[in-house]
Amino acid sequence: MKGLMSLVKGSVVMPKDNDSPYLLDMHKRGLQNLDRMAHYPLSEPVDLLVVGAGAGGVTLAQRLARAGWRVVILEKGPFWDPDRDWVSDEKGSHGLYWTDKRIISGSDPIEMGKNNSGVGVGGSMTHFAGYTPRFHPSDFEVRTRDGVGFDWPISYWDLKESFERLELELPVAGQDWPWGDPHSYPHGPHPIAGAASVAWKGALDCGIEMRVGPVSITNGVFGNRPHCIYRGFCLQGCKVNAKASPLITHLPDAIEHGVEVRADSMAIRVEVNETSGRCTGVTYIDSDGLERFQPADAVAVCGYAIETPRLLLNSTSARYPHGLANGTDQVGRYVMVQGATQVAARFPDELRMYKAPPPEVSSEQFYETDSSRGFARGFSLQTVAPLPIDWAQHVQSEGHWGQALREYMRDYNHWTLLGVLCELLPLAENRVTLASEKDQYGIPVANFSYSLCDNDKQNIAYATKVMEEIWNHAGAQDTLKSDRYAHLVGGCKMGFSPEDSVVDSSQRAWEVPNLFIADGSVFPTEGAANPALVIMALSDRLASLLKAKRVSRPADARKKGVLASLRR
């Protein structure tokens, strides 16, 4: 069966237990079943209250709603309708990013916003490039194998089935994957553009293999989701519904099974019962600016590596004076980013990298530790394709301005880029704390302190040399380098004991039995792969664990929700 699956590509095989692709409309991008969305009253507890409608939160909600749980999701940002809200324009896509203030500090402060933080229903995946690689088996035992970082309390094999399920649901397109645990993808590889083919040739010439994908972009019709049209604006929100985000991959089905999403609702505090120590629900500011309390039997915080720790640290009480689940001072620690240096290269022919999806070909040949390199862990290589504003920032990072900036900008169509994702190590002092400044809700904002260690610097330097070598072999006439960082994980580590972590292997807070964390903040280490698929896979696994522990409610969940709203 498995061998057959790798031959049958495209919409012949559709996901089970997720009707989202059919619940969308061929000709409209917004969700079509919002008029059927449940509304739960504030007067009685729901089964699960999720904070954050991103990769972790929506996947978890969809799975549990199918098992009969009554689930409400609070989302700080808007409920997007891609037809109405999204544009084919860099500057006009500013609203997709979390742009509320955050303080950045440390010796290598990480710039936040458009590159790493999303807001609104769908989370950061609405503007991620689309790469959805799996982690390697080694990623879960970094301490044992390499003596750095941490082991995960779960293994690759605990997530393997979740990866397979999600790759079918997104769906992921790419060539058969030779690295890590070799596997194939449900959709075949996309054609590659002239720009990416230059990188491919250069890499091959110096003995580096690349593969097309893996990207969660439809290559063929997928239910009512159309084929990619290669317009190049993946990072500005996909107006086509071809690139995956939970807004279209899981939320339509979740709503059909009784999930309520409250958009424009900012969670400000997880409330607790001082006697039992359990959480009782979440206080939030609703779309009218009013403070509300939604009671719940269980809470899942899914706000990602900055906002999840911030919410927990802001949720102080007599019982938890240092913040919720923070009795051992672990909340907010070990936040990680990936070293994402990019090297641009210039060629005689026009390449026009603004066409086709920015994520095209990638390599994991350098993913694992190689002791001859002199540092632990590794990196992956990927093509990227900045649009003009990002290209200007790339050019300026080498110090060009004035006529020199304009000259490099005019040369835009002759350039193409490679980027890396270097696995940087988790450090206790790379952490989120509360700043003295407050946001528009009067809540202290996050201060994110970040500093590189020597292993990180060696990894980035080595990876940069590999990119430069590829471009030399490809015949580049000029190169421009930009040091940058991508992705955010960690901050509420999953571990083996309350002393070393915030949550256990089932993502349950050690200190608060009905509090779960289901987002990238639970990663003990970050791998050298883009985190989206792993975040979704963790939620898929968590849902299986929770479903097994709880008997479904007898009444039809959605009907009950609707009735409840009528009573309100």
Partner 1 sequence: MPPDFREPHHLPNRRLPAQAHADPYDLPRQRRGITPQMHGRYPDYDVLEQQDHWDEVTRKLILDRVHQVPEIRFFDEAELETLTVFADLFLAQDSDPRIPVMAYVDEKLHKGELDGYQYFDMPDDRETWRRVARGLDEEARRRGADRFPLLGSDDQLDVVHDFGNGRLHGGVWDTLNVSRAWSVVTRHLMQQFYAHPWAWNEIGFGGPAYPRGYSRFGSPHLQSAEREEWEGEEAYERDPVQDTQERGLQ
Q: Which of residues 376-415 bind partner 1 (CB under 8 A)?
A: 387-389, 391-393, 396, 398-414
Q: 40-59: which residues touch partner 1 (CB under 8 A)?
A: none
Under the criterion CB under 8 A, does residue 355 sit at the interface with partner 1?
A: yes
> Least distance from C-beta 504 to partner 1, angstroms?
32
| CB nearer partner 1, residue 410 or residue 567 | 410
In the chain, the amino acid numbered 361 is: V
Under the criterion CB under 8 A, does residue 195 sit at the interface with partner 1?
A: yes
Q: 253-282: which residues touch partner 1 (CB under 8 A)?
A: none
| CB nearer partner 1, residue 363 or residue 539 | 363
Burial class (CB in 10 A: 0-12, 13-18, 19+), 84: exposed
Under the criterion CB under 8 A, does residue 105 sit at the interface with partner 1?
A: yes
Q: Crossing angle for the helix pair 156-169 and 532-549, nearest 10 degrees?
A: 110
369 three-state secondary structure: coil
> Least distance from C-beta 144 to partner 1, angstroms?
36
Single out the residue of 350, 429, 483, 499 in contact with partner 1 (rule: CB under 8 A): 350
From the list 339, 39, 381, the residue with the least C-alpha distance to 196 is 381
Q: 495-554: which residues touch partner 1 (CB under 8 A)?
A: none
Checking phi first, is residue 224 left (phi over 0); if not, alpha (psi -120 to 50) or beta? alpha
Does a cis peptide bond (omega within 30 degrees of 0) precede residue 82?
no
Under the criterion CB under 8 A, does residue 194 sit at the interface with partner 1?
A: yes
Q: 63-92: which residues touch partner 1 (CB under 8 A)?
A: 83-92
Phi, psi of 301 (to 5 degrees): -90, 125
> Least distance from C-beta 111 to partner 1, angstroms?
6
| Count, residues near partner 1 per rule CB under 8 A | 78
Q: 129-188: which residues touch partner 1 (CB under 8 A)?
A: none
| CB nearer partner 1, residue 91 or residue 553 | 91
> Least distance from C-beta 226 to partner 1, angstroms?
10
CA angle 559, 64, 37 (to 5 degrees): 40
> Least distance from C-beta 92 to partner 1, angstroms?
5
Contact 515, 299 (CB under 8 A): yes
| CB nearer partner 1, residue 240 or residue 298 | 240
Q: 452-491: which residues touch partner 1 (CB under 8 A)?
A: 477-478, 480
**From CA 79, how far away is CA 493, in angstroms rounded?**
29
State the CB neighbour count (10 A cutoff) for residue 333.
Answer: 23
In the chain, the amino acid numbered 251 is: L
Element containing residue 481 per DSSP (H, E): strand 479-482
Lookup: tokens for 272 = 């607790």
DSSP 138: G
Phi, psi of 565 (to 5 degrees): -70, -30
> Least distance from C-beta 232 to partner 1, angstroms?
6
| Contact region with partner 1 (CB under 8 A), list: 65-73, 123-131, 354-362, 545-553 | 354-362
DSSP 520: G
Under the criterion CB under 8 A, does residue 99 sit at the interface with partner 1?
A: yes
**From CA 7, how far away is CA 449, in angstroms rounded?**
47
| CB nearer partner 1, residue 232 or residue 527 | 232
| CB nearer partner 1, residue 327 or residue 357 | 357
Single out the residue of 69, 185, 233, 462 in contact with partner 1 (rule: CB under 8 A): 233
| CB nearer partner 1, residue 113 or residue 513 | 113
